[in-house]
């Protein structure tokens, strides 16, 4: 169980949120659930970090929010990716790949 509580690296939460939203509009609970599922139940997003991050991304214009109704018929705030957010996601994803590949290489060296 300890690995599921692993703290997310600084900045990676934003990237994960953006990725989660590339597949369509989601509310906060849905985002945390999707990240958990996509990480194979390893990454657990702390709500105390999720909501501030959502509002930060909204303030920066990378995501947009709108009230809507969920599949279960519940009123919820749905977040979608803006064009700027999509561009940001592509850029951050590429940076991450480069970064993780580099770290991987360092760790595998002799």
Query: Under the rule (CB under 8 A), what is the footprint of another protein?
Result: 27-29, 46-48, 51-53, 55-56, 58-59, 61, 67, 70, 72, 74-77
Residue 52 neighbours by CB distance under 10 Å: 11
Contact 47, 8 (CB under 8 A): no
In angstroms, give the least distance from the CB of 27 to another protein: 7
Residue 64 DSSP SS3 = strand
Closer residue to another protein in complex, CB, 11/104: 11
Residue 100 DSSP SS3 = helix
Closer residue to another protein in complex, CB, 77/104: 77
């Amino acid at each position: 169980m300890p690995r599921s509580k692993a703290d997310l690296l600084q900045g990676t939460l934003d990237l994960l949120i953006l990725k989660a939203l590339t597949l369509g509009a989601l509310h906060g609970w849905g985002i945390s659930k999707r990240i958990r599922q996509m990480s194979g139940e390893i990454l657990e997003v702390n709500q105390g970090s999720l909501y501030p991050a959502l509002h930060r991304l909204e303030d920066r214009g990378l995501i947009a929010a709108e009230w809507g109704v969920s599949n279960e018929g519940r009123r919820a705030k749905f977040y979608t990716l803006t064009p700027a957010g999509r561009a940001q996601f592509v850029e951050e994803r590429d940076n991450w790949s480069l970064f993780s590949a580099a770290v991987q290489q360092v760790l595998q060296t002799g």
